[in-house]
Amino acid sequence: MDCEMIRIYSENNDEVIKGKFLTGVADYSFGIEHLFPLVGKLDIQRRLQSPKFYDRLRRDLVKGCIMPNLTLAFVQGNLQGVNLANFVNQRINEAFVLDGIQRLNTLKRAAEDAELDLTRPLFLDIIICPSIDNLLYRMITLNNGQKPMSARHQIEILASNLLDFDKLPITTQTEKESGRGRAVPGFRKADIIKAYIAFLGNLVDIDNQKIIQEKMDELIAERVLDSDITVDHLEFSEVLNLIVTLLTNEDLATWLKLPNNLIGFAVGIKKSFMTIAATPLKDFAESLQIFEEAFTKIDVSKIKLGQVRRRLVEHFIAHYDRLAGLSANELVVDFLPLI
């Protein structure tokens, strides 16, 4: 088999993620040269396991077995009129390996054996997704429950690579920068990614200490899979763009840079995006001042402060059209069932 590229054999629409699903074939030589380098693209997307677990596969590859399909993915919006075969081959370095990290690593090790036939076929499933949100949804459906990486970790790593923080119109700072005591006008990357996880799962309690971490990760995965992220038409990128607009108001900027406020906002905004996007910044800032006045009436010694703040922010933002006109005392009454 003479193959210096991926041959595409079928093209179909994925109606759930609104993307394309292709099947194709390359060969071992192509996989080692072009696909193996993608293994490290998502940092430790899935931690490489001990070689002994895959030593049987390595020996079988040398003998001539067929390796199960690998799954690659691209993020690309408008595919109208695009030749998908050309797209995949010309932009292969932009792909992500959603399934097959361990197999590619094993193939690389098998290539050390001179008896390995590098022309053997390497079968591929290829997903082209219109958005990061939908790609994450598909990634979790592929890998949910697999060890050693949780859905939360998948989201964190993929988001940290696909959300180009350097190009975002929001100045972000790393943990190291935030610890130097400098006044950096931005968010920590970790806070934005936490807000993204909350947005995907419709869940503000993403790090509830009452729940075992492993079970918390399972809950997040279930919430993401049960959410409507593939059909609700609101992308997290749109939320970030709205936040950028809100940051032009000094009071709103100060409020949003509190992690608990940002997380609650990210979840609540899914129900009120159009309303808040159309609200004058001054009016929105004034309504949040009333929210804060109501919050001061709560006895913080009797609540888990961060947890309650997230829940109340989510509630206030989600029902903004109803709650924005209430007084502080009226808000407290409305908040009581959530405290």
Do 186 and 257 have their domain in common? yes
Do 83 and 189 have their domain in common? no
Residue 136 lies in a domain: no
Residue 142 lies in a domain: no
Do 92 and 176 have their domain in common? no
pLDDT at 42: 55
Do 123 and 155 have their domain in common? no
Per-residue pLDDT tens for 1-34?
A: 444 589 999 999 988 888 899 999 999 999 999 9
CA distance 27 to 307: 52
Residue 162 lies in a domain: yes
Residue 139 lies in a domain: no
Residue 212 lies in a domain: yes
CA distance 88 to 9: 13
Residue 12 lies in a domain: yes
Q: Is the pLDDT of residue 35 over 80?
A: yes
Do 165 and 85 have their domain in common? no
In sequence order, what are the residues at sequence separation of 6 or more whose Cβ sits closer than 8 angstroms to the Cβ of residue 39?
A: 45, 48, 97, 101, 104, 105
Do 106 and 180 have their domain in common? no
Do 188 and 310 have their domain in common? yes
Query: How many domains in the chain?
Result: 2
Do 195 and 324 have their domain in common? yes
Residue 85 lies in a domain: yes
Per-residue pLDDT, averaged over 267-284, amounts to 95
pLDDT at 165: 63
Do 120 and 258 have their domain in common? no
Asked if residue 48 lies in contact with residue 102, where contact means CB atoms within 8 angstroms, the answer is: yes
Do 183 and 117 have their domain in common? no
**Residue 22 is part of which domain span?**
7-130
Q: Is the pLDDT of residue 213 over 60?
A: no
User: Among 74, 95, 130, which residue terminates a domain?
Assistant: 130
Do 41 and 167 have their domain in common? no
Do 183 and 330 have their domain in common? yes
Q: Where are the beta strands (DSSP E) in 56-212?
A: 70-75, 96-99, 121-129, 172-173, 187-188
pLDDT at 7: 94
Mean pLDDT over the full length of the chain? 81
pLDDT at 133: 83
Closest CA to 42 of 191, 163, 183, 131: 163
Residue 80 lies in a domain: yes
